[in-house]
């Protein structure tokens, strides 16, 4: 987070991606899997990141553009993937804004 704060005037977009961080795991790497287990990126992690970004005034008065990068497999519906990502981001904003009480409205970009 420190590097993000130091470079905040140059940041206009945040891209989140779920990954397996354990080098011993056969799924290790950044394959843009859906949010949740077995990766590290969960609703709670996203909410904590948003809280940190709000506390650090990363966005100041700008609306942030935040996305979740997820690959859709051939047998999955891309519209469902998009809907799931939007739902998770909105839930994370609700948590972050409720916990911090510094948001009067949901910030957008999604």
pLDDT digits (tens, 9 = 90+) for 64-107: 789 999 998 889 999 999 999 999 999 998 998 887 655 544 44
Quick one: which of 100, 2, 11, 91 has its CA closest to 59?
Answer: 11
Structural domain for 19, as ranges:
2-100
Kindly state whether residue 76 falls inside one of the protein's structural domains: yes
Kindly state whether residue 29 falls inside one of the protein's structural domains: yes
H or E stretch at 10: none
SS3 80: helix
Under the banding of pLDDT at 50, 70 and 90, the label for residue 5 is confident
DSSP state at residue 38: T
Kindly state whether residue 58 falls inside one of the protein's structural domains: yes
Q: Are 35 and 88 in contact (CB under 8 A)?
A: yes
Kindly state whether residue 106 falls inside one of the protein's structural domains: no
The 10s digit of each residue's pLDDT in 13-51 is: 889 999 999 999 998 988 899 999 999 999 999 999 988
Rounded Cα gap, residues 67 and 13, in angstroms: 8
Q: Are 34 and 13 in contact (CB under 8 A)?
A: no
Predicted confidence at residue 16, as pLDDT, reads 94
Number of compact structural domains in the chain: 1
Kindly state whether residue 37 falls inside one of the protein's structural domains: yes
Task: List helix spans (H) across the chain.
Answer: 2-6, 43-55, 78-100
H or E stretch at 23: none
Predicted confidence at residue 103, as pLDDT, reads 53
Kindly state whether residue 44 falls inside one of the protein's structural domains: yes
């Amino acid at each position: 987070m420190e590097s993000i704060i130091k470079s905040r005037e140059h940041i206009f977009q945040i891209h989140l991606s779920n990954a397996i961080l354990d080098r011993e795991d056969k799924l290790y790497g950044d394959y843009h899997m859906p949010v949740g287990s077995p990766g590290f990126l969960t609703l709670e992690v996203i909410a904590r990141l948003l809280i940190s970004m709000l506390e650090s005034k990363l966005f100041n008065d700008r609306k942030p553009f935040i996305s979740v990068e997820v690959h859709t497999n051939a047998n999955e519906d891309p519209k469902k993937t998009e809907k799931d990502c939007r739902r998770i981001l909105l839930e994370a904003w609700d948590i972050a804004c409720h916990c911090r009480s510094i948001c009067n409205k949901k910030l957008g970009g999604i």
